[in-house]
Amino acid sequence: MIKSKNLYFKYEDNFVLKNINLYIEEGSFTAIIGANGSGKTTLAKHFNALLLPAKGDVLVDGINTKHDELNARKKVGFVFQNFEDQLIHSIVEEDIAFGLENLGLEKNEIIGIANKTLDKLKIIHLTKNNVNMLSQGQKQLVALAGVLAMKPKCIVFDEPTTMLDVRNKNNILDIINNLNKKDDMTIILVTNVLDDVKYAENVIVLKNGTIIFNGEKSRLNSKILKGAGLSD
């Protein structure tokens, strides 16, 4: 589904990603973990073509993000860490419709898909609500609905539990897991909270912009976590 080959990325003169080679299989659940500043979000933004490699390539379903950003983005949705900034319109339904309009869908079709998505996430009662008046948990579900409605093959979640309480945190992790297990969606979860990785099958550990571990979660040990600055 997603392949990166000798990926390098730099902000000004500092390389924040160095020689990243990875392959994320279709339908898999992969967690990218690492301490603050390790390059997790920078790497994740490459999958949605929000950032393009300084050197090397990122291929999304065979599409090189350098050559076709738009079609790469259609395949991979992105739920931002600060979902507040992701909501563009004031009314929930309008916000869900935004991405669908951009895809050029028929007007009659858009409301149907928006309602279906809101229903799937059990927030259909919020359809006409103003996003500014929603709770953090509700805002995140609306942000997810906006992405989900566009039917991407893969969704990247950037630190989805950071701003949530325990109940909302468990709810969003269960939803993410269901998207993977029931809907066969490829999931990439970016986090520095080890509890969030509970449903992931594969884990990529980053440290200072390089991969120090890439494999099944069962092979992850305390030495690796300590090396990545994720445990004492």
Partner 1 sequence: MIKALAFGQYRFKNSLVHKLDSRVKLLFVVILSILIFLINDGKRSLFFSLFILVVVLLSKIEFKNILNNLKPFYLMLVFIFLMYLIFSRNKLAQGFIAIWRFLMLIIMSFVLTYTTTISSLIAAVESLAKPLKFFRVKPRNAALMISIAIRFVPVMFINLSRAREAMASRLADFRKFRHIKLMIFSLLGRMLKSASALSDALHSRLYNENAENHKILRLSRYDYLSLLVFIVFVFVIY
Binding site for partner 1 (CB under 8 A): 45, 48-50, 69-70, 73-74, 77-78, 80, 82, 84-91, 94, 97-105, 107-108, 110-111, 130-133, 146-147, 150
Query: Shortest distance, CB of residue 139 to partner 1, whole angstroms?
Result: 11
φ, ψ of residue 57 to 5 degrees: the values are -140, 155
C-beta of 109 vs 195, nearer to partner 1: 109
Query: Shortest distance, CB of residue 109 to partner 1, whole angstroms?
Result: 9
Sign, Cα dihedral of 119, 125, 131, 133: negative
Residue count of the chain: 232
d(CA 92, CA 86): 12
d(CA 82, CA 87): 10
Query: Shortest distance, CB of residue 89 to partner 1, whole angstroms?
Result: 5
Query: Shortest distance, CB of residue 68 to partner 1, whole angstroms?
Result: 12
Q: In the beta sheet, which residues pair with residue 53?
A: none
- Alpha-helical regions (H) of the chain: 40-47, 69-75, 92-102, 107-120, 136-148, 166-181, 222-227
C-beta of 40 vs 207, nearer to partner 1: 40
Burial of 111 (0-12, 13-18, 19+ CB in 10 A): middle
C-beta of 54 vs 88, nearer to partner 1: 88
Q: In the beta sheet, which residues pair with residue 51?
A: none
- Is residue 45 within 8 Å of residue 72, measured between CB atoms? no
Query: Shortest distance, CB of residue 74 to partner 1, whole angstroms?
Result: 7
C-beta of 146 vs 209, nearer to partner 1: 146
**Phi-psi sector, 69: left (phi>0), alpha (psi -120 to 50), beta:** alpha
C-beta of 96 vs 200, nearer to partner 1: 96
Query: Shortest distance, CB of residue 224 to partner 1, whole angstroms?
Result: 31
C-beta of 73 vs 207, nearer to partner 1: 73
